[in-house]
Homo-oligomer: A and B are copies of this chain.
Amino acid sequence: MNSSAVVRALGALAQDHRLAAYRLLVQAGPDGMAAGTLAEALEIAPSSLSFHIAQLANAGLVTQRRNGRSILYAADYAAMNALMGFLTENCCGGGVCAPAELVRQTPECC
């Protein structure tokens, strides 16, 4: 995960509706949630949800798949791990901290 991907991921999460949507998806687990359900839960217009969720998807933070007429979105836990790794791996000049250990100890789901 390079700097520009990290900026995109951080920017994707740096908005009320998108952070809320992402957290709903994280809680929803691997099954994910339909776009319409998300829009309803967040109380925003379907087109707004589409606009925001596209940014989360573009940043690689969520995946999408079709199920009948609905499109289900789900959090990508691996991307979250990579983001967290990047934010820690370069700290303290790289010497003192042990980011690899840290990530390894993180449960697979997040």
Query: Residues of A with Cβ closer than 8 Å to B?
Result: 3-4, 6-7, 10-11, 13-16, 19-20, 23, 26-27, 29, 77, 80, 84, 87-88, 90-94, 96-98, 101-102, 105-107, 109-110
Contact = CB atoms under 8 A, between A and B. Distances in A.
A92 B80 contact: no
Contact of A91 (B10, B20, B105, B109): B109
Given A91-B27, A92-B27, A93-B27, A7 B16 contact: yes
23 contacts: A3-B16, A3-B19, A10-B14, A10-B19, A11-B14, A14-B14, A23-B90, A26-B92, A27-B91, A27-B92, A27-B94, A29-B92, A29-B93, A80-B91, A84-B87, A84-B88, A88-B106, A88-B110, A91-B110, A92-B107, A96-B107, A97-B109, A101-B105
